[in-house]
Amino acid sequence: MSGKPRLTYLNGRGRMEPVRWLLAAAGVEFEEVFLETREQYEKLIKDGVLMFQQVPMVEIDGMKMVQTRAILSYIAGKYNLHGKDLKERALIDMYVEGITDLMQMILMFPFSPPEAKEKNLDSIKDRAINRYFPVFEKVLKQHGQDFLVGNKLSWADVQLIEAILAVEEKIPAVLSGFPQLQAFKKRTSNVPTIKKFLQPGSPRKPPPDEHYVETVMKVFKI
C-alpha cells in the first residue's frame, strides 16, 4: 500500500464526497476502493475493519477511520484547515454543522419517491435561501474577508463551496440574492487545489444517477 490515504465507499458522492473535497483542497492525492456488491461490504464487516459496520472508511496514518465527521475533523486538523485556536475551531465547527444539515437534504434527495421529489426540492430551496445561505452572506459581509474564518481557507470554506455547487445543480439561480456568496464561489473555485478538483477527470463524483441509487440499495439492503 502506498502512503496515500485510501478511501472505501461506493463510486458516487454520498457521505464520502466531503472527504474527497477536503483532501483535494489540501492538495492530497488519494486512492479509492469502490464497493459494488453486498458481499464486498459484508466481508469488510466480517473482517472487523469497520468499527460500527458502516462506511465511509478512510485508511490514513495507520488508522482505519470511520464516521464522516471524525474523518473530516482529522483531515482538517492534519492539513491546517481547522483554525489556529479554539475559538476559530469552534466557529468552523458551527459553520460545518450547519452546512452538513443542508447537505443531508441533498444527500437524501435522489432516494425520494417520485411523488415527493418536487416537495423535497422546494424544501431544499427554502432552507438554502432562508436559513443557511443568509448566515454565510452575513458573515462575509460583516468581516469583509475572503474566507469564513481567519481570512484563511478552512474546512468550513470547502464544505460551503461544495454545498453551493450541489444546490446550484438543482436550483441554478439560488445565489441570485447573495452577492457575497457569488463572489465567494468565484474566489474559492479559483483556489488552485480546488480549481484542479473541479476539472474533468478529477476524483470528484457526478450527481447521483439511477445506477448509483440502485447500487446503494443493493449494497446496504435499504
pLDDT score for 73: 97
Q: For the whole model, what pTM was predicted?
A: 0.95
**pLDDT tens digits for 189-208?**
999 999 999 999 999 999 99
Closest C-alpha to 120, from 130, 110, 133: 110
Domain extents for the chain? 6-79+198-220, 86-190
pLDDT band at 2 (very low <50, low <70, confident <90, very high): low
- pLDDT > 90: percent of the chain: 98
Tell me: pLDDT of 77 over 60: yes
* CA max distance for the chain: 52
| Cα distances (Å, whole numbers) of residue 77 to 2, 23, 73, 129 | 22, 12, 6, 30
Return d(Cα 132, Cα 44) in angstroms, integer. Answer: 37
Sign of CA dihedral 123, 15, 186, 154: positive
**pLDDT tens digits for 4-30?**
999 999 999 999 999 999 999 999 999
Determine the CATH number of domain 86-190. Answer: 1.20.1050.10
Closest C-alpha to 169, from 208, 114, 116, 119: 208
Tell me: pLDDT of 1 over 70: no
- Mean pLDDT in residue range 182-190: 97
pLDDT score for 3: 87
pLDDT score for 221: 83
- Mean pLDDT in residue range 126-139: 97
Tell how far CA 141 is from the center of its chain. 24
| CATH pick for 6-79+198-220 out of 1.10.3720.10, 3.40.30.10, 1.10.10.10, 3.40.50.300 | 3.40.30.10
